Amino acid sequence: MKRPTILVLGAGYGGLTTTVNLQKMLSGEQAEIILVNKNDYHYETTWLHEVGAGTIAPDAARYPIAKVINNNVRFVQASVEGIDVNERKVQTTAGEMTYDYLVLGLGFEGETFGIPGLDKYALSLANLNAARQIREHIEYQFASWSLDEVKDDSKLTIVVGGAGFTGIELLGELGNRVPELCKEFDIPQEKVRILCVEAAPMVLPGFDPELVEYAKTQLAKKGVEFSIGTPVVEATEEGVKIKKGEDEFEFVKAGTVIWAAGVRGNKLVETSGIESNRARIAVRKDMRAPGFDDVFVVGDCAFLLNEEAGRPYPPTAQIAMQQAVTIAKNIKHLMADEDTEEFVYDDKGAVCSLGHDDAIADAIGRKMAGKKASALKKIVDNRALYLVGGVGLTVKKGKFKFI
Ligand code: FAD
Ligand code: NAD
């Protein structure tokens, strides 16, 4: 009998964790495992705020996929261009592929809610090269301000749209990086403005209020200003328009606008033949797509309701990696004609960094702020490396400077 083909799309937290679990469970004779990813490396999406601010190098946040897969897996470096689950076909830049089991793990895209100008004028932390672009854009703005005879100080204004986890973590890194940049480019620091614009009436909506207060105070010490309860309504080449009241708007001129105000699934989901909302598929309890018994969805392309809380689980790396383990097991169950398992989320809480030296955490049953929380954040980052690549990868790429 022909061995089944398992096609995994995307080598992010979800896709790569599925693959390394499958390669442990199945031999080459039992299944053909194919992993397709745009790049020949995996990047740590959860470190992109550091790459964007320039506090770590882009290379620090990536490693070759070849380092973590074995001979049971065929890796294909290609971009997925189309998915047709009715025909069981996937179009890629390396040609058409078919499958017996599909794992769709193509990650997220920034959600702009149709706000005019954002697609064109705002930068985002959508992937490693997008983060690299933010770093280089800010450096370019600072360098050109230094060289300009007539100085336009707005070149030194950085607007971050959104004070969710991504926005706050980015602001923490920017707070550390800006003094270094000012030194490098001979810029008086008081000329630089870092402004965070948040639509909701609070920063980090839903997080512990005391920890949020701590985060705001610490970020303010690093020079971050907040405009809360004031949505961005437009972006232009010059900056952003902010809604301040019923009929009140303010335009902030800015050399850099970074959009960190939410995510949706990969747009390829929308043309795959599976029903989706904001490119996220409401999966069944065993992580399969509704109506398609051979298609699993992992990570930010999957939508799963937390029935107890009556709201969806947030799209996080933590949940993507846990889903991946269930998916690998369920593929093995299906191959053996067994019942599939339900995905059960083990929520370990959340840690939000405020730069490399500070953080807030509501995790492992404790609330923490400062150096302890920051050390926990590094342990969490190292754990993700360990789960995919074991001790070797953790030692090579991990974060071991705890203070
Ligand atoms: P991703 O990790 O985004 O991976 C998708 C993969 O698909 C990538 O390798 C990409 O190159 C590939 N791909 C995309 N399109 C194509 C294509 N057309 N063809 C081929 N390959 C393609 N979550 C946490 O739990 N903890 C954190 O601390 C945390 N910090 C974060 C910090 C930042 C700055 C950001 C932006 C997010 C953070 N998150 C965090 C959320 C977390 O990163 C995502 O939920 C997680 O990355 C989702 O995993 P995924 O596998 O679905 O997608
Ligand atoms: P988010 O949806 O969590 O937060 C986006 C923020 O942008 C919200 O506060 C929202 O009110 C605001 N916003 C929306 N429209 C706006 C507008 N027009 N103007 C100004 N503000 C606007 O998105 P995120 O922060 O990118 O996080 C995405 C996912 O990744 C979440 O699930 C998050 O938990 C996860 N994440 C986790 C960590 C961590 O655990 N340390 C870090 C980053 C991201």
Distances (CA, A) of 276 to 130, 283, 298, 352: 26, 10, 14, 29
Q: What distance in Å separates the CA atoms of residue 68 and residue 331, rounded to the nearest whole number?
A: 20
34 touches 61 (CB < 8 A) = no
- pLDDT reported for residue 402: 79
- Of 19, 62, 33, which Cα lies nearest the Cα of 298? 19
Task: Give ranges for CATH 3.50.50.100 in the chain.
Answer: 5-110+263-348
Give the distance (Å) from ligand 1 centre to CA of residue 299.
Answer: 8
Q: What distance in Å separates the CA atoms of residue 226 and residue 168, rounded to the nearest whole number?
A: 11
Taking the CA of residue 39 as reference, the ligand 1 atom at the shortest distance is 11
Task: Among 165, 211, 243, name the best residue to mutate to test ligand 2's pocket (greatest count of ligand atoms within 8 A of Cβ).
Answer: 165
- Of 239, 278, 233, which Cα lies nearest the Cα of 258? 239
Task: Among 102, 316, 379, name the best residue to mutate to test ligand 1's pocket (greatest count of ligand atoms within 8 A of Cβ).
Answer: 316
Residue with structure tokens 């992010």?
A: 12
- pLDDT reported for residue 2: 85
- pLDDT reported for residue 364: 87
SS3 content of the chain, % helix, strand, coil (to 5): 35, 30, 35
- pLDDT reported for residue 401: 85
Query: Is 172 near ligand 1, meaning CB less than 6 Å away?
Result: no
Query: Is 91 near ligand 1, meaning CB less than 6 Å away?
Result: no
Query: Is 63 near ligand 1, meaning CB less than 6 Å away?
Result: no
Q: Which CATH number fits domain 5-110+263-348: 3.40.50.300, 1.10.1660.10, 3.50.50.100, 1.10.1200.10?
A: 3.50.50.100
Is 169 annotated in the active site? yes
339 touches 333 (CB < 8 A) = yes
Where would I find the beta strands (DSSP E) of 202-324?
Answer: 224-228, 232-235, 239-245, 248-253, 256-259, 263-265, 281-282, 295-297, 302-303, 305-306, 311-312
Query: What is the widest separation between alpha-carbon atoms in the chain?
Result: 75
pTM of the model: 0.98
Task: Give ranges for CATH 3.50.50.60 in the chain.
Answer: 118-259
Query: Is 198 near ligand 2, meaning CB less than 6 Å away?
Result: yes
Ligand nearest to the CA of 300: 1
pLDDT tens by residue, the chain, 403 residues: 689 999 999 999 999 999 999 999 999 999 999 999 999 999 999 999 999 999 999 999 999 999 999 999 999 999 999 999 999 999 999 999 999 999 999 999 999 999 999 999 999 999 999 999 999 999 999 999 999 999 999 999 999 999 999 999 999 999 999 999 999 999 999 999 999 999 999 999 889 999 999 999 999 999 999 999 999 999 999 999 999 999 999 999 999 999 999 999 999 999 999 999 999 999 999 999 999 999 999 999 999 999 888 999 999 999 999 999 999 999 999 999 999 999 999 999 999 999 999 999 999 899 999 999 999 999 999 999 999 999 999 999 999 987 6
Backbone conformation region of residue 52, classed left if phi is above 0, alpha if psi is from -120 to 50, else beta: alpha
Query: Is 272 near ligand 1, meaning CB less than 6 Å away?
Result: no
Which alpha helices (H) appear in 43-200, and where do they start and end? Answer: 48-53, 118-121, 128-147, 165-185
> Two tokens at 285?
């309890």
Ligand nearest to the CA of 124: 1
> Two tokens at 141?
């703005």
CATH level 3 topology of 118-259: FAD/NAD(P)-binding domain (3.50.50)
Catalytic residue among 111, 169, 173, 270: 169
